[in-house]
A and B are shown apart, each in its own frame.
Chain A
Amino acid sequence: MPLLEVDNLQVEFSTERGVARAIDGVSFNVNEGETLGIVGESGCGKSVTSLSVMGLIPRPPGRIVGGEIRFAGQDLTQLSDKAYRKLRGRDMSMIFQEPMTALNPVFTIGNQISDVLRRHKGLSRKQARTRGIEMLAEVGIPAPDKRIDEYPHQLSGGMRQRVMIAMALSCDPKLLIADEPTTALDVTIQAQVLELIKNLAADHGTAVILITHDLGVVAETCDRAAVMYCGRIIEQGPVDALFEQPRHPYTAGLLASVPRIRPDRLPRLPTIPGIVPDLLDLPDGCRFRDRCGQALERCGQFDPDLSAEGDARTEAACFNPNPVTQT
């Protein structure tokens, strides 16, 4: 049984212009110890998906209107606030994009880590401090017994993200959700932090959902990946298959538009034409149709579901996917 099963999740937000369905029928699984990447542009619903799993959708204006989120067999959408709080930080935890502001500025980092440990593990003040120092050492913070008494503003962005990782893994959670954990960091630090998440998650036996818009990050760290577009998953599968033989035209477009060093300099970087449709005014049929170069007539009538066909190693939601070529 997978650790996390998201089944046909639907999330809506009330806006001034009407109800926007930010997530429309998203399904995916995360197995124990596995790393799943969720990729997509800003606003495609990847963060909303992760917040739904954590039960952190701001209500109002947001609400889960359909589907199930089963974590270790338990449906989280039916969970009481109190039971959910016990889960958060202990069985599932989350790292956020902004290390500069994610920690409480008026308490020392030791105080904040201890708070989590004492709440979830029932440790004494002293035990929590000792464990906190161990965790800081584990994430590679030098002189952790001194650093633990410092305030967040005394640490650099990379260090703060390490503190967040230490805090997130301090209770040995089964699932870690990392929402763009390296986007706000310097490139040199990015690689270190990613490596750290990857290694520590493996050590602690923690499954990871890595939310990112950076395909390079996915390629380096994830086992499987799901590509989201406009509130739906349009393709998912093992990372190598997804990168080598993208079947959905959107995935292929994304991969083509990554800046990289090419043998011949391109006159211009390829882009996907058009813009993402408005969630309040979705077209009929496939949401990518207006931007797609290979749309068929029925793409305008029906919205395709994820399906795997033939030799394909990925599931794509497309009526006219790119053919599978033998390599």
Chain B
Amino acid sequence: MDTLQYALRKLVTGIPLVLGVTFISFVLMVYFGPDKTYELIGKNATPEQIAEIRSQLGYDEPFFVRYADYLRQLVTLEFGYSDSTGERVSRILTRTIPVSLALTLPGFVLGNVLAVVLALVAGFYRGGLIDRAIMAGAVVGMSISFLIIIIGFQVLLSSSYGINYFPVRGWEVYSLADYLYYVTVPTLAIVFVSLGYNTRFYRAVIVEEMNRDHVRTARAFGTPPIKLLFRNVLRNAAIPIITRIMFSIPLVVISGSLLIESYFGIPGVGKVTYDAITTGDQPILKAVVGATAVLFVLTLIATDVMYKVIDPRVSLK
């Protein structure tokens, strides 16, 4: 009950935050953003024609009217039609966001779960051979460029130089088998890229926790190693771990999938965003920028609520 109240209060305090971030994105991306007037108008336009187009586009409205208009679009999720394809922006997003999620989620989850497991093992045997082997692997993983990893996996798994079983690109998913067929290589690439960074980060957190007094106490009372790792180490390391996971969600959903999607030719929201940036497709950009901002704020609130659930010392005030 307390936690629910806390969550609601956090949501209320989130409102000014949403207004703030949407205001900044409005100023940068909309008010000073791409101006379509001269694309729509022919050569040698008269000042009257220019004024007419600008009025049609709403550019002549006062600043705050335009901001209110942007907020209304965000709330109703109605951003108009794409400049390049004429498709409704809300339809484009409902079509592409699930694809991006399906594409990045397995890699994201695996990359974090594996990293936590490796970090626990490395932390437990810290200074030993196992620890050094895992950390050396992490550094290698971090040092190789994302592009090389993608190409490497494509060569190994999707070409006649390797096992040539998986597709190089594309996304035609109608069944679970299709899904596994298309998602495997991108997932491997995502896991490989994130594993090194994640493992290093989580190991640092876990080693710090292993040195705490309460871990020594637990040992002094005969706690077996697995229980020690979960009850003492992981439970207490949960806050930094969750912080990292939660705050990478907005990035993974929107921008993290960008490279993967363009390399594997997958029609996700990352690719849509990339195309919108290169063509100046303002309705889509407005939607994506606004949605990212709101997603960040929601993540922030969710993270705060999770802290409360995990750590009894986080006060309800």
Cβ of B220 and Cβ of A89 under 8 Å apart?
yes
Distance of B240 from chain A, by nearest CB (Å): 14
Cβ of B222 and Cβ of A54 under 8 Å apart?
no
Stretch in contact with the other chain, from A92-100, A227-235, A288-296? A92-100
Cβ of A120 and Cβ of B216 under 8 Å apart?
no
How many chain-A residues does the 8 Å CB contact rule pick out? 29
- Given the known interface contacts A96-B217, A101-B213, the answer about A120 and B231 at a Cβ–Cβ threshold of 8 Å is no
Partner of A90, one of B128, B214, B222, B231: B222
Cβ of B221 and Cβ of A96 under 8 Å apart?
no
In the assembly, what is the distance between CA of A85 and CA of B226, in Å?
Answer: 13
| Closest A residue by C-beta to B236 | A106
Cβ of A96 and Cβ of B222 under 8 Å apart?
no
In the assembly, what is the distance between CA of A93 and CA of B312, in Å?
Answer: 27
| Closest A residue by C-beta to B224 | A85
Distance of B47 from chain A, by nearest CB (Å): 69
- Given the known interface contacts A61-B127, A96-B213, the answer about A167 and B221 at a Cβ–Cβ threshold of 8 Å is yes
Distance of B249 from chain A, by nearest CB (Å): 24
Distance of B232 from chain A, by nearest CB (Å): 6
Distance of B40 from chain A, by nearest CB (Å): 60
B contact residues around A98 at 8 Å (CB): 213
Cβ of A104 and Cβ of B231 under 8 Å apart?
yes
- Given the known interface contacts A60-B127, A61-B127, A151-B312, the answer about A105 and B214 at a Cβ–Cβ threshold of 8 Å is yes
A contact residues around B216 at 8 Å (CB): 56, 96, 102
In the assembly, what is the distance between CA of A65 and CA of B295, in Å?
Answer: 58
Cβ-based interface call for B310 (8 A): yes
Cβ-based interface call for A302 (8 A): no
Cβ-based interface call for A276 (8 A): no
Partner of A88, one of B127, B128, B222: B222
Distance of A203 from chain B, by nearest CB (Å): 20
Q: Mark B281-317, 1 if CB is under 8 A from A, else 0.
A: 0000000000000000000000000000011110000
In the assembly, what is the distance between CA of A87 and CA of B222, in Å?
Answer: 7
Q: Mark A80-91, 1 if CB is under 8 A from B, else 0.
A: 000001111110
Within 229-275 of B, Cβ neighbours of A (below 8 Å) are at: 231-232, 235-236
A contact residues around B149 at 8 Å (CB): none
Cβ of B214 and Cβ of A101 under 8 Å apart?
yes
Cβ of A153 and Cβ of B219 under 8 Å apart?
no
Cβ-based interface call for A116 (8 A): yes
Q: Is the interface of B mostly helix, strand, loop or mixed?
A: helix
- Given the known interface contacts A61-B127, A105-B312, the answer about A56 and B220 at a Cβ–Cβ threshold of 8 Å is yes
Within 176-222 of B, Cβ neighbours of A (below 8 Å) are at: 212-214, 216-222
In the assembly, what is the distance between CA of A96 and CA of B215, in Å?
Answer: 12
In the assembly, what is the distance between CA of A46 and CA of B216, in Å?
Answer: 17
A contact residues around B236 at 8 Å (CB): 104-106
Cβ of A153 and Cβ of B212 under 8 Å apart?
no
Partner of B213, one of A102, A106, A116, A120: A102
Cβ of B219 and Cβ of A56 under 8 Å apart?
yes
B contact residues around A241 at 8 Å (CB): none
Cβ of A104 and Cβ of B219 under 8 Å apart?
no
Distance of A9 from chain B, by nearest CB (Å): 19
| Closest A residue by C-beta to B313 | A153
Cβ of A153 and Cβ of B312 under 8 Å apart?
yes
B contact residues around A153 at 8 Å (CB): 312-313
In the assembly, what is the distance between CA of A261 and CA of B216, in Å?
Answer: 39
A contact residues around B235 at 8 Å (CB): 104, 106-107
In addition to A96-B217, A119-B222, 10 A-B residue pairs with Cβ atoms within 8 Å of each other are: A93-B221, A104-B235, A104-B236, A105-B313, A106-B311, A115-B221, A116-B222, A119-B223, A120-B222, A164-B217
Cross-chain pairs A/B with CB under 8 angstroms, 28 sampled: A54-B220, A60-B128, A85-B223, A85-B224, A87-B222, A88-B221, A89-B222, A93-B221, A96-B216, A101-B212, A101-B214, A102-B214, A103-B214, A103-B217, A104-B214, A104-B231, A105-B214, A105-B236, A105-B312, A106-B236, A106-B311, A106-B312, A107-B235, A116-B221, A116-B222, A119-B223, A153-B313, A164-B217
